[in-house]
Amino acid sequence: METTRTNTIFFEKYSVTTRDLETYLSEALSRGGDYTDLYFEYRISHSIILEEQIIKSATKSVNMGVGVRVLSGEKTGYAYSDDLNRENILKAARTAAFIAHSSSEGGTTGLSAPISLENDLYSIPLQPVDLEIAGKIALLHEADFAARSYDSRIQQVQCSYLDETKHVMIASSDGRCVWDVQPLVRLNVMCVAEAGSQRQSGYQGGGGRRSVDIFTGDLDPKTLARESARQALLQLNAVGAPAGPMEVVLGPGWPGILLHEAIGHGLEADFNRKGTSAFTGLVGQKVASELCTVVDDGTIPFRRGSLNVDDEGNPTHETVLIENGILRGYLQDKLSAGLMKAPITGNGRRQGYEHIPMPRMTNTFMKAGESAPEDIIKSVKRGLYAVQFGGGQVDITSGKFVFSASEAYLIEDGHITAPVKGATLVGDGPTVLRQVTMVGNDLQLDMGVGICGKEGQSVPVGVGLPTIKIQEMTVGGTEK
Amino acid sequence: MTDQLKEAAEKVVQRAVRMGATSADVLIREDDTFSVSVRMGEVETLKQAISRNVLLRVFVGKRTATSTTSDLSPGVVNRLVDDTVEMARITSEDESGGLPDASLFGNDFPDLELLDTTWENLSPPDRIDMAIRAERAALKAHPGIVNSEGATFDYSRSCTVVGNSSGFFGEYEGTGGGIAAAPVVQSQGGMQRDLWMSVSRRVDGLESPEEIGRKAAERALRRLDARKISTCEVPVVFDPMTARSLVGHIFQAVAGESIYRRMSFLIDEVGKRVAAPGVTIVDDARLRGGLGSSPFDDEGIPTQTTPVIEDGVLRNYLHTAYSARKLGTRPTGNGTRAATGTVTIGPTNFYLKNGAHTPEEIIASVKSGLYLVELIGFGVNGVTGDYSKGAVGIWIENGKLSYPVHEITIAGNLRQMFENIEMVGNDLAFLGSVAAPTIKIKKMVISGD
Residues B190 and B253 in one domain: no
A416: left (phi over 0), alpha (psi -120 to 50) or beta: beta
Asked whether the beta carbons of residue B410 and residue A278 sit closer than 8 angstroms, the reply is no
Residues B279 and B217 in one domain: no
- Taking 80 as the threshold, does the pLDDT of residue A109 lie above it? no
Give the chain B residue whose CA is nearest to the CA of A69. B47
CB contact A428 to B (< 8 Å) = yes
pLDDT given for residue B3 in this prediction: 87
pLDDT given for residue A116 in this prediction: 87
Residues B88 and B165 in one domain: yes
pLDDT given for residue A2 in this prediction: 43
Residues B129 and B213 in one domain: yes
- Which contacts (CB < 8 Å, 24+ apart) does range A332-338 have? A332/A269, A332/A359, A333/A269, A333/A270, A333/A357, A333/A358, A333/A359, A334/A35, A334/A37, A334/A71, A335/A71, A335/A74, A335/A76, A335/A270, A336/A269, A336/A270, A336/A272, A336/A273, A337/A269, A338/A35, A338/A71
Residues B178 and B251 in one domain: no
Q: Could you say which of B221, B244, B275 is where a domain stops?
A: B221
Nearest CA to CA, how far is B376 from chain A (Å)? Answer: 6
CB contact B69 to A (< 8 Å) = yes
Tell the CATH topology of A9-236. PmbA/TldD fold (3.30.2290)
* Pairing state between β B42-60 and A75-81: parallel
pLDDT given for residue A105 in this prediction: 55
Q: Could you say which of B156, B187, B221 is where a domain stops?
A: B221
CB contact B191 to A (< 8 Å) = yes
CB contact A62 to B (< 8 Å) = yes
- List pLDDT tens digits, range A30-80: 998 999 999 999 999 999 999 999 999 999 999 999 999 999 999 999 999
- Taking 70 as the threshold, does the pLDDT of residue A156 lie above it? yes
- Taking 60 as the threshold, does the pLDDT of residue A102 lie above it? no
Give the chain B residue whose CA is nearest to the CA of A84. B71
Span A166-195, average pLDDT: 96
Nearest CA to CA, how far is B60 from chain A (Å)? Answer: 12
**Eight-class DSSP state of A222:** H
pLDDT given for residue B330 in this prediction: 97
- List pLDDT tens digits, range B401-449: 999 999 999 999 999 999 999 999 999 999 999 999 999 999 999 999 8
Q: Number of residue pairs across A and B with CB atoms under 8 Å? A: 259
Residue numbers in chain B where pLDDT is lower than 70? 1
Contacts of B447 in chain A (CB under 8 A): 243-244, 426, 474-477
pLDDT given for residue B149 in this prediction: 93
CA dist A232 → A58, A143, A432, B191 (Å)? 26, 15, 30, 40
* Pairing state between β B368-376 and B232-238: parallel
Q: CA A212, CA A335: separation in Å to the nearest integer? A: 37
Asked whether the beta carbons of residue B408 and residue A74 sit closer than 8 angstroms, the reply is no
CB contact B419 to A (< 8 Å) = no
For residue B61, give the CATH number of its domain.
3.30.2290.10
Question: In chain A, positions 150-189, which contact chain B (CB-CB < 8 Å)?
Answer: 155-156, 158
**A98-102, A299-303, A423-427: segment of lowest average pLDDT:** A98-102
Q: CA B432, CA B1: separation in Å to the nearest integer? A: 27
Q: CA A309, CA A174: separation in Å to the nearest integer? A: 16
Of the candidates A129, A114, A108, the residue with the CA atom closest to the CA atom of residue A36: A108
Residues B236 and B381 in one domain: yes
Residues B181 and B300 in one domain: no
Question: In chain A, positions 241-260, which contact chain B (CB-CB < 8 Å)?
Answer: 241, 243-245
Q: Could you say which of B164, B198, B221 is where a domain stops?
A: B221
- List pLDDT tens digits, range A233-262: 999 999 999 999 999 999 999 999 999 999
- Domain coordinates of chain A in residue numbers? 9-236, 243-476
Which of A76, A394, A424 faces B409 most closely, judged by CB atoms? A424
pLDDT given for residue A107 in this prediction: 60
pLDDT given for residue B348 in this prediction: 98
Residues B206 and B261 in one domain: no
Q: What domain range is B247 assigned to?
A: 226-449
pLDDT given for residue B187 in this prediction: 87
Instruction: Please state, for a pLDDT cut of 70, what percent of chain A lies above it.
Output: 97
Tally of residues, chain A = 480
- Taking 90 as the threshold, does the pLDDT of residue A3 lie above it? no
* Pairing state between β B63-69 and A243-250: unpaired
Residues B84 and B211 in one domain: yes
Structurally, how many domains does chain B consist of?
2
**How many CB atoms sit inside 10 A of residue B143's CB?**
8
Q: What average pLDDT is seen over chain A?
A: 94
Nearest CA to CA, how far is A395 from chain B (Å)? Answer: 8
Asked whether the beta carbons of residue A426 and residue B51 sit closer than 8 angstroms, the reply is no
pLDDT given for residue A361 in this prediction: 98
Give the chain A residue whose CA is nearest to the CA of B79. A62
Output B299 or A119, whichever has higher pLDDT: B299
